[in-house]
Structure 1
Amino acid sequence: MGMPPVPDPALPEPLGGPVASSRRDAPALRGAGRKGPKRLPRRAAAGRRSFTATLRALDELASSGAQVSVRIDDLDGGSQVLAGDDFLTLPVGGLGVVPLLVEVAAAFEAGRIDPLEIVDRSAVQGAAHGGVWQHLKAPALPLIDVAMLAASSGDALAVNALLHRVGLQAARSRIEELGLRRTALLDRFRDDRGPDDAPHLALSTAREMAHLFAGLVNSTVVSPGVSAQVAEWLSLNHDLSLAASATGLDPFAHENDQHGLLFVNKTGRAAGVRAEAGVLGGPRAGVAFALIVNFDDLTIAHRLRAHDAFRVLGVELMEYVY
């Protein structure tokens, strides 16, 4: 599915698949705390965490024919915690909307677009893929609210409205400026994709999505203001059903968690596609992560197997940070 992978010359070749390359990295997980300056005691335990259950779940997915790409980075120093075929370019569904949100926030900050500019949904190419705006009585909304809908509920009509306003080419130029060499926003949301349409909404890699989210929380994406705005929108995301299900957070109110968890994420869904990227921070550590799974969506069992792998990852991410 998606574009054929073209390994970066600077990267080592995988040893036979996503799980093989992950196992290669597994010993480094157990010894992650041995390199560099000594960590504070409250962080030390995080270096001893492993992701053996995640590797096992991803191994089972790969054995069933799924394509799997995973990346986890520790936010303390940017060190790699886990990587498995993280350079593979795969369809990511609505996860690919994040660079569009960056372009919208940058246009707001630069004054090129008024955040309160009104968008009439009747002028936007529709899509019943998902979201709430199509069900609201209000026929028009300000752009800043449209962006919030796109980030918080994956609203297909809102995403199409943002693309209609800023232009697909502007979003693609932003992707290039961000240095995302293997990420592409190909099209708007459509109910049906014909032979003349792009085969997918967006493509990306686990590595680039994890790095993008790390940049957002570290205020290095375009500017501190743009990073903060996009992170704020994404902190309202309601979809906590994949890796995020292990956090126990309230899907509708998790920006100020009483247990000290910081969580920002975005998911992507399409036929045979599940993807999630985000940042999870706790008392012991903080991580940026991304997992992309492309699978044959033949039955509910196939779909639930993919979902289970995300949830296993979520449990081990929580063990790492908390």
Structure 2
Amino acid sequence: MAAAPSSDKDSAGSPDSRAARAGATGARRGSGRRRRTGLIRPSFAATLKALDGLAEMGAQVAVCVQDLDRGDVVLAGDDYVTLPIGGLGVVPLLVEVASQVELGTLDPLEIIDRPAPVEVGGVWQHLKAPALPVSDLAVLAASCGDAAATNALIERVGLDAVRARADRLGLSSTALLDVFRDRRGPDDAPRLALGSARELSALFASLVNAQAVSAAVSAQVAEWLTLGHDLSLVGSATGLDPFSHVEDAHGMLFLNKTGRDAGVRAEAGVLAGPRAGVAYTLIVCFDDLSIMHRLRAHDAFRTLGTELMEYIF
């Protein structure tokens, strides 16, 4: 792991949504405060140590942290490498759904039947409702990585459309390859999704900066992602309520998406406070040989979360 901190040298929703406003306001506020106080930025030394430890044990690690105010990368390591990212690959799908809604080619209230059951995750499989509207499916896919909701959206808009959207977003190393499956056969894609830390951080930055397709599309996707329930990795350091963190008493903005698979943990998001705002991605692919191997991987995410909190406050 050669991670090192960098030197300083597509109705999709209202563009004035809470998430978009908070991201832009937080970034501007943070930039001004840094200029006034001249505070020293964290070095991410603990994160580098944790990631180096994982790499020494044979894990593949990729990280990218981008300052939202200045646009430069403040921490990077193998961020160009394409790695499996699990359910994090749903983000380009959400962008395509919001884009089609904005264009009027997809009705957000269109009712879609539940697809063939998958048990890999989510809540729809436990609900009695046999069908849900597109907008609700997007909420389920973004908030809890619901496999059935994600598969239903993929069937509706098509993987080809999602891949074309990814190309237009400039994602050459990031792709949603398949639907969720309980088991992958020889004729199936070997992974749900692949991505690079660099592209995913840039994508999240473009969402909060209203630059992904359009301001309305960016705001809608960011709003869906603020509903995320998985705060067990980087998000654990925020102290936020996993089920209600759109409004925070301390002026913090947080939106994220995690991805999990056998031996894969990934998270990308935006964290902004009074001092700064960042878009971040961390991907760890490890041999899940024991619970300790898994917990070491999780600890690295939490270490990054702690240092990101020091960076933004």
Q: Counterpart of 1:129?
A: 120
Specify the code of the residue in structure 2 equivalent to 1:173.
Answer: A
C-alpha deviation, 1:46, in angstroms = 5.4
Specify the code of the residue in structure 1 equivalent to 2:67.
Answer: D
Report which structure shows greater RCO (CA 8 Å, sep ≥6).
Answer: 2
Task: Give SS of 1:48's match.
Answer: coil
1:76 aligns with 2:69: yes
Q: Counterpart of 2:228?
A: 237
Within the candidate set 108, 115, 122, 1:115 is matched to 108
Q: Distance in 1 between matches of 2:253 and 2:41?
A: 21
Q: Counterpart of 1:265?
A: 256
Within the candidate set 207, 213, 219, 1:228 is matched to 219
Q: Distance in 2 between matches of 1:45 and 1:63?
A: 36
Task: Give SS of 1:68's match.
Answer: strand
Instruction: Identify if the C-alpha distance between structure 1 residues 98 and 47 changes in structure 2 by more than 3 Å, giving closer, same or farther.
Output: farther
1:56 aligns with 2:49: yes
C-alpha deviation, 1:125, in angstroms = 3.0
C-alpha deviation, 1:42, in angstroms = 4.2
Matches within 5 A, 1:245-256: 245-256=236-247
Q: Distance in 2 between matches of 1:156 and 1:295?
A: 23
Q: Distance in 2 between matches of 1:254 and 1:304?
A: 25
C-alpha deviation, 1:48, in angstroms = 2.4
Specify the code of the residue in structure 2 equivalent to 1:79.
Answer: D
% identical equivalent positions: 67
Q: Counterpart of 1:183?
A: 174
User: C-alpha deviations, 1:50-99, integer Å up to 9, x for none?
Assistant: 10000000000000000000000100110110100100000000001100
Q: Distance in 2 between matches of 1:119 and 1:250?
A: 31
C-alpha deviation, 1:259, in angstroms = 0.8
Normalised to the residue count of structure 1, the TM-score between the two structures is 0.88
Task: Give SS of 1:309's match.
Answer: helix
Within the candidate set 87, 100, 114, 2:93 is matched to 100
1:195 aligns with 2:181: no
Normalised to the residue count of structure 2, the TM-score between the two structures is 0.91
| Aligned Cα root-mean-square deviation (Å) | 1.2
Q: Distance in 1 between matches of 2:41 and 2:124?
A: 45
Within the candidate set 278, 283, 286, 1:292 is matched to 283
1:219 aligns with 2:210: yes
Within the candidate set 154, 175, 183, 1:163 is matched to 154
Instruction: Identify if the C-alpha distance between structure 1 residues 159 and 321 changes in structure 2 by more than 3 Å, giving closer, same or farther.
Output: same
1:302 aligns with 2:293: yes
Q: Distance in 2 between matches of 1:210 and 1:128?
A: 29
1:40 aligns with 2:21: no
Q: Counterpart of 1:320?
A: 311
Instruction: Identify if the C-alpha distance between structure 1 residues 45 and 317 changes in structure 2 by more than 3 Å, giving closer, same or farther.
Output: farther
Task: Give SS of 1:277's match.
Answer: strand
Task: Give SS of 1:307's match.
Answer: helix
Q: Counterpart of 1:10?
A: none
Q: Counterpart of 1:6?
A: none
Unpaired segments of 5 or more residues in structure 2? Answer: 10-30
Contact 1:45/1:284 (CA < 8 Å) preserved in 2?
no
Within the candidate set 48, 67, 76, 2:60 is matched to 67
